[in-house]
Amino acid sequence: MAIRNLTRSAAAAVIGTAVVIPVPAAADPLPYGPDTCIQGYVWREARTGDTVCVTPDERSTVLQQNSNPGAHKDPNGAYGPQSCAQGYVWREAFDGDTICVTPDFRQQMLNDNAAAASRKQATQPQPTPGASANGSTVLFEVTGSGEVYNIVTDPSGADVPDHTKIPWQRSMTVGPDVQLLQVVATGRDTPGPGCRITVDGKVVTEQPIGGSAHCVFSRF
């Protein structure tokens, strides 16, 4: 009897124990926030907080220069103790940067500053929705006001009769084998209609009201 009670107690303890299975954290696409560099680039770190993206070799050079700030100085020069020796100029990676470097290296710093935004992951164009293996949701739209003679979509759907009022839209799911998406509208009024195609929530092509009202998009 004692063994049976002990077994029941052990079973109850197991049932009452919560088993916590850790869930792996999703990888952060921007591990350093909006200042994350694109692949092949690192922060320059010419000073604390300098997140301009440069090549690793360039950062190493900058850090070496920072470790010896008095190099290539001419204390008797026209700009006082921060004057550079002949053949050298201020680096100017940021306002007030008086590290002395060659003119070519300073130009590189200025070029890096000008290209700063283009080397951030956050500013890179997002991939265009393509042909999902499970199919995609496509929204065809005709924008504007008034009426149209007709509207044709590819892939096709039910016929759209004359005098259909706009704005108008049609949603459908297309398989991964469908390459071409398009919508064409012929308006009755001035200005003519516009159009738009959205794939999985992202606008992939659009024509303004008064334009051609012919939107076409190739998925691959």
Question: What Å distances lie between residue 13 and 1, 5, 18, 19, 25, CA to CA?
Answer: 18, 12, 10, 12, 30
Q: What does the pLDDT profile of the chain (220 residues) look like in tens digits?
A: 444 444 454 444 434 444 444 444 444 568 888 999 988 899 999 999 999 999 999 999 999 999 999 999 999 999 999 999 999 999 999 999 999 999 999 999 999 999 888 899 888 766 555 555 678 999 999 999 999 999 999 999 888 999 999 999 999 999 888 889 999 999 998 888 999 999 999 999 999 988 778 999 988 7
CATH number at residue 161: 2.60.40.2880
Joined tokens for residue 32: 């350093």
Domain range enclosing 204: 136-218
**Residue 26 domain-assigned (yes or no):** no
Cβ atoms 142, 166 nearer than 8 A:
yes
Report pTM: 0.48
**Residue 57 domain-assigned (yes or no):** yes
152 and 111 inside one domain:
no
144 and 100 inside one domain:
no
Task: Provide the sign of the torsion angle of the four alpha carbons 196, 197, 203, 205, taken in this order.
Answer: negative
What pLDDT does residue 122 have?
Answer: 85
> Of 74, 91, 123, which residue is a domain's last?
123
43 and 109 inside one domain:
yes
What pLDDT does residue 132 have?
Answer: 58
Beta strands, E only, the chain: 42-43, 53-54, 89-90, 100-101, 136-154, 164-174, 180-187, 194-199, 202-207, 214-218
What pLDDT does residue 81 have?
Answer: 94
pLDDT digits (tens, 9 = 90+) for 85-124: 999 999 999 999 999 999 999 999 999 999 888 899 888 7
What pLDDT does residue 125 have?
Answer: 66
111 and 143 inside one domain:
no
What pLDDT does residue 46 have?
Answer: 97
**Domain total of the chain:** 2
